Amino acid sequence: MTSVNWGPDDVAFVEQLRARGIDVGVRKSGRPFVWPVAAWADGLTDAERQFFREHHAALAAMVRAKVLRDFDVWWQPPTEPVTAAPTAPEPEPEPVCRYCGGPCVGPEHHAYRTLHWHDPYEVARREAEATATFRWRYL
């Protein structure tokens, strides 16, 4: 097994994380990790993640050797939520016509009478039209 040396920048890195409530541990596989796990996404900057990846062997050796003092600070997630660009409110969906199967096409549409064939208003209109035509035709 090769010996890995850690430098003052490694110790300063871990102390800086611990000051913010983030601890560094070592898994059984020998890979270091941050605790709590949510701190990897929420608590570390891209530069800190890159440093962690590049110095993982030194950080693991340093934690195993118990160079650092005991950790007694609890991490709190950031209180400021990431603000996304404001979005326009979604428009209200158009009401669905039970005869058209979607937004109503309207009486001006050429297929309105066919689509609304069973609409009580259209049934009454057809009956009135047929009755009116029938009466005047045979009188």
Winning range, highest mean pLDDT, from 13-22, 62-71, 83-92: 13-22
Question: Domain extents for the chain?
Answer: 8-64, 93-139
Winning range, highest mean pLDDT, from 27-31, 47-51, 80-84, 88-92: 47-51
Mean pLDDT taken over the chain:
78
Residue 35, beta-bridge partner list = 23
The amino acid occupying position 100 is C
CA quadruple 42, 43, 48, 50: dihedral sign? negative
pLDDT at residue number 83: 60
Question: 23-34 pLDDT, tens per residue?
Answer: 788 888 877 878
Pairing of strands 32-35, 23-26: antiparallel
Structure-model confidence comparison of residues 70 and 132, the more confident one: 132
The confidence band for 110, taking pLDDT boundaries of 50, 70 and 90, is very high
Determine the Cα–Cα distance for residues 87 and 32; give it in Å rounded to an integer.
40
Structure tokens at 65: 């050797």
Structure tokens at 42: 């929420």
C-alpha distances in angstroms, 123 versus 18, 55, 102, 119, 132? 77, 80, 21, 6, 14
93 prior amide bond cis, ω within 30: no
